[in-house]
Structure 1
Amino acid sequence: MNPTDDSLCCAACGCVGFPTVKAGGSWVCAQHAAANATQWPAVTRWIREHAWWLNLIYRVQQMSPHKWVGPQGRWRAVGAYCERHGRSDLAPTVRTVEGLPRGLDERESAALWLYRARGLFCESCLVAVKTPMDAVMPVAAGEERAGEVGGIGEGNEATGGPEKENA
């Protein structure tokens, strides 16, 4: 994102994230809203280092749904782009969810992929700067966060963070 107006960016110094949460008198991105003030420089650094991911999210949000689907759909290019950046786990896929009669096919819905991509972006950032996700996104007993459905979002494989220890 290359806005020409600073009001289109997160209020944290140098952050290119989209402001979605009002914190005090300023608007900040979800990642800065979830982190404490001492972590803000690390959050900004992580977001800037992963600008390719954020830009991809912005571009897909603006894409016509008709360009996303089908055998020549843009979902293919998105998957290849994610793989080139070492994040093949972000490629649009079919996710199985317990209790649903069929899988959630992100190749047929940009909105489904965007939901997962945004969640993993936030979670990956906060894991990298060591902010506990339960403090950010409380999970009711027996439920999972969207990024954790089907094992996605756990450990080094999906987030680049430390492996979870077996309890």
Structure 2
Amino acid sequence: MTLHRTPPNASDTPAQRQGQCVAYGCPMWAEVKTGPDWTCCCHAFAPASAWQDITQRLNQRRQLLRTIHRALHVNPAEWKPDVAAGYMGKIGRPDLAPARITLTHLARDRFTGQTVEVQIERDERDHPQLWVARLLRTLVRECAEGAPEPAKPVATAAVPMPTAVRDLIPNFGGDGR
């Protein structure tokens, strides 16, 4: 009788690196424990049938994921918002450059006792943590919730197309056909 239940053909190496999401091929770090496994914030509350699509979207946005990872580990004293803004333009996401944002939350008014909406303006150039939070929200919205990435402007020129085959043949005779 054996107590070791691992099948003889099982791999000795785990499917993912330690600290990484359990979804196969997911490049994100594990954050949420769901049952016995650790998953990333994108896979955590999604059905298992959608994991492959989510992982594909994450891999398509790998540059954004690397930017988030670097920004999470930046020393606030060495934070350079102009460099971050330039890099976001370089990877094709100038809409995610550090900017001035308005934070909205609900608070209880101490005089009237009612719940009111409070708006505070903050500059992400002064608070890199706010910028990282916005990048993470964008990544989750685009990957887990399936929201489309904002359209990138594409420079195109109109190409005139012939309407009939006779338009392709030059008229040398002058008879009008």
Equivalent in the alignment of 1:160:
150
Equivalent in the alignment of 1:13:
24
The alignment of Structure 1 onto Structure 2 pairs a total of residues equal to 123
Equivalent in the alignment of 2:98:
92
Equivalent in the alignment of 1:149:
none
Equivalent in the alignment of 2:86:
80
Larger RCO (alpha carbons 8 Å, 6+ apart): 1
Cα shift at 1:83:
1.4
Equivalent in the alignment of 1:22:
33
8 A contact 1:124–1:160 mirrored in 2: no
Aligned to 2:138, which of 120, 127, 139?
Answer: 120
CA distance, structure 1, for counterparts of residue 45 and residue 59 of structure 2: 17
CA RMSD, Structure 1 to Structure 2 (Å): 1.9
Q: Map 1:96-107; keep pairs closer than 5 Å.
A: 96-97=102-103, 99-100=118-119, 103-107=121-125
1:110 aligns with 2:110: no
Aligned to 1:33, which of 44, 48, 70?
Answer: 44
1:62-105, CA deviations, whole angstroms, 9 ceiling, x for partnerless residues?
1110111xxxxx211111111122211110000134634x5210
Cα shift at 1:126:
2.2
**Larger % of helix: which?**
1
8 A contact 2:124–2:130 mirrored in 1: yes
CA distance, structure 1, for counterparts of residue 44 and residue 20 of structure 2: 13
TM-score by length of 2: 0.64
- Gaps spanning 5+ residues in structure 2: where? 1-15, 105-117, 152-177
* Aligned residue type for 2:66: N
Q: Secondary structure at the match of 1:127?
A: coil
* Aligned residue type for 2:55: T
8 A contact 2:43–2:144 mirrored in 1: no
- Gaps spanning 5+ residues in structure 1: where? 69-73, 131-155, 162-167
Point out the structure with max Rg over C-alpha. 2
Cα shift at 1:43:
0.6
